[in-house]
Amino acid sequence: MQQQKIIILDFGSQTTQLIARRLRELDTFCEILPYNKFPADDRDVIGVILSGSPYSVYDPEAFRVDLSQFWGRLPVLGICYGAQFMSHELGGRVEPAGSREYGRANLSYIDFENPLFHGFEPESQVWMSHGDTITALPEGFHPIASTSHVRNAAFAADNGRVWGVQFHPEVFHSVQGTQLLRNFVVDICGGRQDWSPANFVETTVAELRQTIGTDRVILGLSGGVDSSVAAVLLNKAIGRQLTCIFVDHGMLRKNEFQNVMRDYECLGLNVIGVDASDKFLTDLAGVTEPEKKRKIIGRDFVEVFNAEAKKITDARWLAQGTIYPDRIESLNITGKVIKSHHNVGGLPEEMHLQLCEPLKWLFKDEVRRVGRSLGMPEHLITRHPFPGPGLAVRILGDITREKVRILQDADDIFIRGLRNYKVRLSGDEARRVLAAGVPADMQNGEIEVSLYDQIWQAGAILLSDVRSVGVMGDERTYENPVALRAVTSTDAMTADWAHLPYDFMAAVSNEIINKVRGVNRVCYDISSKPPSTIEWE
């Protein structure tokens, strides 16, 4: 059966990826493309969504699209800027909005007969976020929803091919937003809801067998979700033709190397574990400058990985756990790069390996669903992201084995505490956690999850250049502080500090100061991204 997809044209909104995620949650397929890259061959395209944008239609640098490429042929849904752009292009009026068009609003009028609003509740809550508003619709268009302040909150063309909404159905605060997207994609465009992890595994395994044949494949494992799921998928497809390499650079979490190696062996993977910690720590001795640290680690990693890879002389493929957001970020149309992460690893060029990226169309939550369907243990699947350079970017100052040991111990107490502390969630919070793929049963409108599963990422940072005075028993101490960092996020591009419960923080702080020799003070990082970043270096 021919793959069918919705094209989301990206005008640079921060929530474009969320639109795609919502469509994937509906088990339909979609692809995000830059606003000016609508495909010439669109035989598999069943509908088009125009995203929001940081620009106003009146900005000279605003992104514009030639609507004639799909106009009248394919159903179109404009969201926020997408809706305003269409109105503006077709002769409607768009003007600066009042401040009331930010945040929650309720739809006071809804045309329940319009297919876009099938199944909607009266007064449904939506999320507004726009600086301009459509004050007059083009000819041939009519409003299909309003709020008390926004008459044209949603509109449709009389010809039944075009819709626009000035609110954001993709964000959680638009309570029936997913229903609206479902109505567009499934009812209006005729999208099939046939994506399932089991189907994905079945078709991908068949494709991998077909393309790889009897060749040998090398894959670099990091202990993270993406590379682990890619490995298990490939293992299912080609078994012992796959060799995985897992490098210990000496700055992983406490016991991580041993634990992850054990997990991999239980999963039946053919893994070579390389303890290269001496090399990394020797090369890093005395280095304090963050970028220099990253460069040394990147270089050493490539050297160690390549030395192992070259032993597999008949390898033809290098497999990687690249996922869809990794690729969208590199396609970022606004071209603003905040901080470049060199993911450690590199292609041994002289080996002329071809690249195999079986997860390249998936979002993180889909990768997790695939992992579950492959029978992988939950602790591997729900694991937080961890930076390639590891604790090196969480030790401020030079790196020594002793500092790594101190940080590993503090981090271990923090992470174990997060896993053990359970919280009950309801409403928006519960929905957000469930949509991120966390397995939890809803009972009486509530779910119980650990703090660990509720947050995106957490860790401890050793401020090894800072010392402060404390008192332990009768002794004066003069030791380092540890900072704790925990953030909520959907994609790591933006993040907020997690509002952890005070009793939890008190217990973790006590345990760290009492048990970790070398630490006499614990702080909590309350900075969001931007302007801070998640990692301290």
- Is residue 528 at the binding interface for ligand XMP, with CB under 6 A as the rule? no
Site residues for ligand XMP, 35-74, by CB under 6 A, read none
- Is residue 92 at the binding interface for ligand XMP, with CB under 6 A as the rule? no
- Is residue 387 at the binding interface for ligand XMP, with CB under 6 A as the rule? yes
Which of 112, 113, 132, 130 shows the shortest CA–CA distance to 121?
Answer: 112
Q: In this structure, are residues 57 and 132 in contact, taking their beta carbons and an 8 Å threshold?
A: yes
What whole-number distance in Å separates Cα of residue 11 and Cα of residue 350?
A: 40
Neighbours of 88 (CB within 10 A): 20
* Minimum separation from the CB atom of position 283 to ligand XMP (A): 16
- Is residue 328 at the binding interface for ligand XMP, with CB under 6 A as the rule? no
Residues forming beta bridges with residue 356, ordered by sequence position? 319
Question: Among the candidate windows 72-80, 113-121, 505-513, 526-534, which touches ligand XMP by CB under 6 A?
Answer: 526-534
DSSP state string for 11-40: -S-TTHHHHHHHHHHTT--EEEEETT---S
- Is residue 380 at the binding interface for ligand XMP, with CB under 6 A as the rule? no
* Minimum separation from the CB atom of position 34 to ligand XMP (A): 23
Exactly one of 385, 397, 439, 470 binds ligand XMP (CB under 6 A); that residue is 385
- Is residue 343 at the binding interface for ligand XMP, with CB under 6 A as the rule? yes
* Minimum separation from the CB atom of position 322 to ligand XMP (A): 12
Question: Among the candidate windows 67-75, 166-174, 266-274, 381-389, which touches ligand XMP by CB under 6 A?
Answer: 381-389
Which of 322, 470, 336, 485 shows the shortest CA–CA distance to 407?
Answer: 485
* Minimum separation from the CB atom of position 357 to ligand XMP (A): 16
Kindly report the three-state secondary structure assignment for every residue of 110-179: ECCCCHHHCCCCCCCEEEEECCEEEEECCCCEEEEEECCCCCCCEEEECCCCEEEECECCCCCCCCCHHH
- Is residue 457 at the binding interface for ligand XMP, with CB under 6 A as the rule? yes
Nearer of residues 47 and 389 to ligand XMP, judged by Cβ: 389
Q: Is 30 annotated in the active site?
A: no
What whole-number distance in Å separates Cα of residue 22 and Cα of residue 18?
A: 6
Q: Is 170 annotated in the active site?
A: yes
- Is residue 383 at the binding interface for ligand XMP, with CB under 6 A as the rule? no
Instruction: Please tell me the count of residues contacting ligand XMP according to CB under 6 A.
Output: 14
Exactly one of 492, 498, 512, 522 binds ligand XMP (CB under 6 A); that residue is 492
Residues forming beta bridges with residue 221, ordered by sequence position? 246
What whole-number distance in Å separates Cα of residue 464 and Cα of residue 530?
A: 25
Q: Is 384 annotated in the active site?
A: no
- Is residue 535 at the binding interface for ligand XMP, with CB under 6 A as the rule? yes
Q: Which of 30, 88, 101, 170 is catalytic?
A: 170
Q: In this structure, are residues 261 and 353 in contact, taking their beta carbons and an 8 Å threshold?
A: no
Reading the block at residue 470, the tokens are 């404390």
Q: In this structure, are residues 385 and 223 in contact, taking their beta carbons and an 8 Å threshold?
A: no
Nearer of residues 409 and 535 to ligand XMP, judged by Cβ: 535
Exactly one of 47, 389, 417, 437 binds ligand XMP (CB under 6 A); that residue is 389
Nearer of residues 169 and 390 to ligand XMP, judged by Cβ: 390
Q: What are phi and psi of 530, to 5 degrees?
A: -70, 170
Write the CA distances from 215 to 131, 240, 305, 316, integer angstroms. Answer: 55, 11, 20, 6
Nearer of residues 111 and 326 to ligand XMP, judged by Cβ: 326
Q: Measured over all CA atoms, what is the biggest interatomic distance in the chain, rounded to whole angstroms?
A: 83
Nearer of residues 179 and 490 to ligand XMP, judged by Cβ: 490
What is the set of active-site residues?
80, 168, 170
**Which spans of this chain sit near ligand XMP (rule: CB under 6 A)?**
339, 341-343, 385, 387-389, 457, 492, 529, 533-535
